[in-house]
Structure 1
Amino acid sequence: MTETLRPVAPEATGPPAGRSWAVALLLASASFLVLFDSLAVATALPAIGAEFGLRPGVLQWVVSLYSLAIGAFLLLGGRVCDLYGRRRFLVASLVLCTGATLLAGLAPTLPLLLAGRALQGVAAAFAIPAALSIAASRFETEPWRSRVFSVIAFAAWSAGLTGAMLGGFVTTQFGWRWVFLGAVPVGVAAVAATLVLLPDDRPRAARGERLDVAGALLVSAGLVLLLLGLQETGERAGLLRPVLFGGTGLVLLAVLVLVERRSADPLVKPRLLRSRRRAGSYLAFATYCAGYNAVIVIGSLALQQRHGLSAEAAGLTLSPVLVGGVVSSLLGPALLRRFSSRTLVVTAMALCALSLAMIATRDSVAGFLPWLVLWGLCSGPVYVGLTRECISEAPADDRGTASALFESMSHLGGAVAIAGYLTMLGAGVGFRATELVGAAVVALGGLLTFLLVPRRDTEPERSAAVDPGGSGDPVRPGGPGGPTRVSRTARP
């Protein structure tokens, strides 16, 4: 009798075809809520300051507390989701985010508003890795493997564009509180949809793995202080506070490394960082985010101080970046089915570096508008390609942590870049030279991707399952002896 050979099953099966779009849109809603709120609130800051009588140094904490909470708790959020269930923590974080948003919208005093903002950031730090890791686990094969990250990227860019455009309108027509209150029904709907569409997952803690409490405290405290130090670097002339905060944060993170090496269940498994594919992708995303901040933050300052535009006009001028990001996010899956992630990311980052260099050397606003569009059009493929490399290729049990590491690159890379850029401007370096430094950083990221991320023999891979052993290599159906590993060529 002839034995029938069956292909190796993927780690997780995707949802039925009729529910795929609903699940993808649900997971994208977490990114939409996070980024819409962030940019919309930034446009409402003058109205908030006027109501509470705040000076600029205090007012900036309405935004900074939110960003600090996300950056500080992302790694903890990713690990907790891996251990105790991604779906349950997605639900919990959406509930917390909705409640915190309601608190911020109704806050009668500044302390309650700031508390709401901090809680929103903590909720986002758990929601983002939960959503990304669920996306990677629920959609293992193409075209949905790339499509789900494209939908999430589309939601993120759309949220940025919508927040930037509607934040000022809502504040002017209805008051700044409705920037928060208007998002509450979306949060309630997301919670209900999560409970209906996503099945519960078994906690790994029940199988013996435990949370490293000492590591969790050290990483959160260390990142809070490091991010505070970087923020102070850009905002103060003196060095005492930046050195005190940043130095203490670095010491705590160094202690964290020692603690984690002795932990049986570390927050970040070493195998997540040993992979050249993931390490190169993390570095690439950090450098892309550094360049993005040169385009948006330094670009906004240059438009206002060098070209004499108002803050509103500067935001409108930079909007082609967001529009391009929305469009290119939709093109990501089709491009990934034609080209490998490595090829796509290297090409897109080279074009981003060129765009920023051209923006830096143009003398008129009209002269760099086409290059803003090009940057946006390259952004979607960078995000979709890198999320697939960093998260889909990660071991199934560690995808929450892998997602958190990926998103941490945005906050840490952005914070380091902004501190460096503002320090350069404070030292008398002009906008042009500062933006050219940003372009060089992005170009370096593209080069690192080319050198570190191994080339695949099967380009592009369409339906390969992920090797559960943690190497990040795809596996394909084998003969009677089991699955056959697809060999990787470690040449650039």
Structure 2
Amino acid sequence: MTDAAPSPTARVAQERSAGRSWAIALLLASASFLVLFDSLAVATALPAIGDEFALRPGVLQWVVSLYSLSIGAFLILGGRVCDVWGRRRVMMAGLAMCTGAGLLAGLAPNLAVLLAGRGLQGVAAAFALPAALSTAAGEFDTEPWRSRVFSVIAFAAWSAGLAGAMLGGVVTTQFGWRWVFLVTVPVGAAALAVARVLLPADRPGAVSGQRLNVASAVLVSAGLIVLLLGLQEIGGHGGVRAPLLGGAGLALLVLLVVVERRSAYPMVKPGLLASRRRAGSYLAFGTYCAGYTALIVIGSQALQERYGLSADAAGLALSPVLVGGVVSSTLGPLLMRRFSSRTIVVTAMALCAVSLTLIATSGSVPRMVPWLLLWGLCSGPIYVGLTRECISDAPEDDRGTASALFECMSHLGGALAVAAFMTMLGAGIAFRSVELSGALVVAAGALLTLLLIPRR
């Protein structure tokens, strides 16, 4: 006996539900797009900004650095605020702040206002990203939509990187550097308007029985920003300031641990880090991001110094990574139907380690292209698999913090990698050896994933 076909009314309801699901997924993806488009597009606009404000390169770099520091410093606070005050509120506040900050940066009459806009953009991103990821996990709790929504977010992130890298220079040349910021304003305003309609109201229980620990909030943000500044100084050969800043940042984070252990409302609940599944996901993503730093930051310098490419040509040579990432982001849901997240992530990270090894030893730019593409093709499934394991596995009321910890690993992993790899280069170690060290880190991440993330 066969099941009866769905009635016309049921089919309409299913189609309407699928349409709403796609709309929410695209809305959540817009947050990733806004964040990553500006972070890469602005790099191409730096010379024009420097010319208009007559800035030295060291000062000009703060247009990029302040944004990255703001995201890294406020991510954990943003995630905790999601859990305490509600994801919808935080998502809408983040989108509104991101839109206003883009307008402020685009209309900036001087460097101080531009830097204020960039700092606010980073803070907005630090709140919007965990809100988007935790909403994705909360709204889509069954397959295939759970993997599909993280795939859509990954697709938006890689597309933003590709669009920012490829179109940032075009926008700057044709319309001026200000439009690199202003072009995001209508996108942010539209996303905010759609969010008001589509996002469900925050659950009453999301704000009951939880409080924001102000002391922990200050310590975690101050500790992270000082630590990241120290790591940035190490990467830039900052002399005595680097260890002083790094030590101060670590001291603040140690004090945070003391305060957290005594608090009835900790910023990061111990259970979030006690889970092998989440701890393995965090470490795997951190090691992947360290390898990505070796690929992009060290790889770009190697292309310029070893092969004589210009900065623009080096960026173009590395673009197969972004292309592969865009393509592979669409493969996540298909792979999740056949294999476990653990199997997919371990395999993909092992292939990333192999590709980085072959890039380091290739000897010519054309020989690198297939291995750069391979890295990108492995990247989408890694992101989809780890977000699915890490965030979806977290308790409902802690998913904002779990999302923030996951995203924070990209900033800490990248910052630590830049500091370590640039120190190695400063000590006279060859580019090839530094890139091979990055491959070893990624291989170690694959092994940690295998050992720490349990089978389902």
TM-score range normalised by the length of the shorter chain: over 0.9
Aligned equivalent of 1:309? 309
Aligned equivalent of 2:35? 34
Contact 2:86–2:207 (8 Å) recurs in 1: no
Q: Which amino acid aligns with 1:192?
A: A
CA distance in 2, matches of 1:237, 1:268: 32
CA deviations 1:141-189 (Å, max 9, x no partner) are 0000100000000000000000000000000111100000111000000
CA deviations 1:109-156 (Å, max 9, x no partner) are 000000000000000000000000000000000000100000000000
Name the CA shift for 1:433/1:206 in 2 (closer, same or farther; >3 Å).
Answer: closer
Aligned equivalent of 1:122? 123
CA deviations 1:260-312 (Å, max 9, x no partner) are 01111101111111110110110000000000011111111111111011111
Q: Which amino acid aligns with 1:219?
A: V
More helix per residue: 2
Moved more, 37-46 or 201-210: 201-210
Aligned equivalent of 2:162? 161
Aligned equivalent of 1:365? 365
Q: Which amino acid aligns with 1:453?
A: I
3-state SS, counterpart of residue 318 of structure 2: helix
CA distance in 1, matches of 2:91, 2:296: 30
Unaligned runs of 5+ in 2: 1-15
CA distance in 2, matches of 1:161, 1:206: 38
Contact 2:206–2:397 (8 Å) recurs in 1: no
The answer to whether the aligner puts 1:250 opposite 2:250 as a matched pair is yes
3-state SS, counterpart of residue 455 of structure 1: coil
Q: Which amino acid aligns with 1:427?
A: A
Name the CA shift for 1:243/1:305 in 2 (closer, same or farther; >3 Å).
Answer: same
In the TM superposition, what is the alpha-carbon distance from 1:202 to its structure 2 partner? 3.1
The answer to whether the aligner puts 1:440 opposite 2:440 as a matched pair is yes
Aligned equivalent of 2:455? 455
3-state SS, counterpart of residue 428 of structure 2: coil
In the TM superposition, what is the alpha-carbon distance from 1:16 to its structure 2 partner? 2.4
3-state SS, counterpart of residue 429 of structure 1: coil
Aligned equivalent of 1:473? none
Contact 2:24–2:198 (8 Å) recurs in 1: yes
3-state SS, counterpart of residue 211 of structure 1: coil
Q: Which amino acid aligns with 2:278?
A: R
CA distance in 2, matches of 1:310, 1:207: 56
CA deviations 1:70-125 (Å, max 9, x no partner) are 00000000000111010111001110110000000000000000000000000000
Aligned equivalent of 2:299? 299
CA distance in 2, matches of 1:211, 1:296: 37
Instruction: Give the TM-score normalised by structure 1.
Output: 0.89
In the TM superposition, what is the alpha-carbon distance from 1:362 to its structure 2 partner? 1.0
CA distance in 1, matches of 2:333, 2:253: 37
Q: Which amino acid aligns with 2:266?
A: P
In the TM superposition, what is the alpha-carbon distance from 1:236 to its structure 2 partner? 2.4
Name the CA shift for 1:155/1:310 in 2 (closer, same or farther; >3 Å).
Answer: same
CA distance in 2, matches of 1:363, 1:393: 43
Q: Which amino acid aligns with 2:423?
A: T
Contact 1:84–1:203 (8 Å) recurs in 2: no
Q: Which amino acid aligns with 2:440?
A: A
Aligned equivalent of 1:476? none
After superposition, residues 251-266 of structure 1 pair within 5 angstroms as 251-266=251-266
The answer to whether the aligner puts 1:388 opposite 2:388 as a matched pair is yes
Q: Which amino acid aligns with 1:135?
A: A
Q: Which amino acid aligns with 2:303?
A: L
CA distance in 1, matches of 2:106, 2:134: 30
Contact 2:231–2:416 (8 Å) recurs in 1: yes
Moved more, 229-238 or 359-368: 229-238
In the TM superposition, what is the alpha-carbon distance from 1:17 to its structure 2 partner? 2.1
Contact 2:324–2:376 (8 Å) recurs in 1: yes
Aligned equivalent of 1:328? 328
CA distance in 1, matches of 2:247, 2:413: 17
Name the CA shift for 1:251/1:326 in 2 (closer, same or farther; >3 Å).
Answer: same
3-state SS, counterpart of residue 16 of structure 1: helix
CA distance in 2, matches of 1:21, 1:237: 47
CA distance in 1, matches of 2:83, 2:337: 29
CA distance in 2, matches of 1:243, 1:302: 27
CA deviations 1:231-260 (Å, max 9, x no partner) are 00011252x101111100000000000100
Aligned equivalent of 1:199? 200
3-state SS, counterpart of residue 283 of structure 1: helix
CA distance in 2, matches of 1:90, 1:245: 32
Contact 1:222–1:250 (8 Å) recurs in 2: yes
CA distance in 1, matches of 2:207, 2:132: 22
CA distance in 2, matches of 1:438, 1:209: 41
In the TM superposition, what is the alpha-carbon distance from 1:376 to its structure 2 partner? 0.3
CA distance in 1, matches of 2:208, 2:364: 61
Aligned equivalent of 1:103? 104
CA distance in 1, matches of 2:204, 2:76: 18
After superposition, residues 400-411 of structure 1 pair within 5 angstroms as 400-411=400-411
Contact 1:352–1:378 (8 Å) recurs in 2: yes
After superposition, residues 332-347 of structure 1 pair within 5 angstroms as 332-347=332-347
Aligned equivalent of 1:271? 271
